[in-house]
Amino acid sequence: MYKELIERKKSIGIIGLGYVGLPLAILFSKKFDVIGFDINEEKIEAYKKGYDVTDEVGDEEIRNSGIEFTSDIECVKKASFFVVAVPTPITSKKLPDFRFIVSSSEVVGKCIGKGDIVVYESTVYPGVTEEFCVPIIENSSGLKCGRDFKIGYSPERINPGDKVHTLDKIVKIVSGMDKESLDTIASVYGEIIDAGVYKAESIKVAEAAKVIENSQRDINIAFINEISMILHKMDIDTDDVLKAAGTKWNFLDFKPGLVGGHCIGVDPYYFIYKAKELGYDSQLISTGRLINDNMGYYVGNELIKKMIQLDKKIKGSNVLIFGITFKENSNDIRNTKVIDIVNTLKDYGVNVYITDPNAKKEEVLKEYNLQLSENYHDKKYDAIIIAVNHDSFKNLNFNDLLKISNEKPILFDIKGSLDKKEAEKRNIEYWRL
| Residue 252 CB neighbours (<10 A) | 9
How far is residue 110's CA from residue 209's CA, in Å, rounded to a whole number?
A: 30
Tell me how crowded residue 92 is: count the other CB atoms within 10 A of its CB: 6
Strand order in the sheet with 429-431: 351-355, 318-322, 383-386, 410-413, 429-431
- Dihedral angle, C-alpha 253, 259, 263, 264, nearest 10 °: 50
User: What 3-state class would DSSP assign to 404?
Assistant: coil
pLDDT along the chain (433 residues), means of 10: 94 94 95 96 94 88 94 95 94 92 96 97 94 96 96 88 80 96 97 96 96 94 97 96 96 93 88 94 95 96 96 95 92 93 97 94 93 90 95 87 92 92 92 95
**How many other C-beta atoms can be found within 10 angstroms of the C-beta atom of residue 8?**
10
The pLDDT assigned to 49 comes to 93
Annotate 106-132 with DSSP letters as a single string: HHHHHH--TT-EEEE-S---TTHIIII
Catalytic, 263? Answer yes
At residue 155, the pLDDT reads 94
What pLDDT score does 119 carry? Answer: 98
Tell me, what's the pLDDT at 260? 87
Q: How far apart are CA 429 and CA 420, in angstroms?
A: 9
CB 160 within 8 A of CB 327: yes
- Contact (Cβ atoms closer than 8 angstroms) between residue 5 and residue 15: no
Residue 65 burial by Cβ neighbours in a 10 Å radius (0-12, 13-18, 19+): buried
Q: Give the span between the Cα atoms of 424 and 56, in whole angstroms.
A: 38
Minimal CA–CA distance to 320: which of 353, 293, 349?
353
DSSP class of residue 13 equals E
Can you give the pLDDT at residue 392? 86
Q: Which H or E run includes 318?
A: strand 318-322
The active-site residue, picked from 111, 133, 145, 263, is: 263
Q: Structure pTM?
A: 0.91
pLDDT at 255: 94
Rounded distance between C-alpha atoms, residue 429 and residue 176, angstroms: 56
**Domains of the chain by range and CATH?**
2-206 (3.40.50.720), 294-431 (3.40.50.720)
Listing DSSP states for 280-301 in one string gives ---SHHHHHHHHHHTHHHHHHH
- DSSP code of residue 67: -
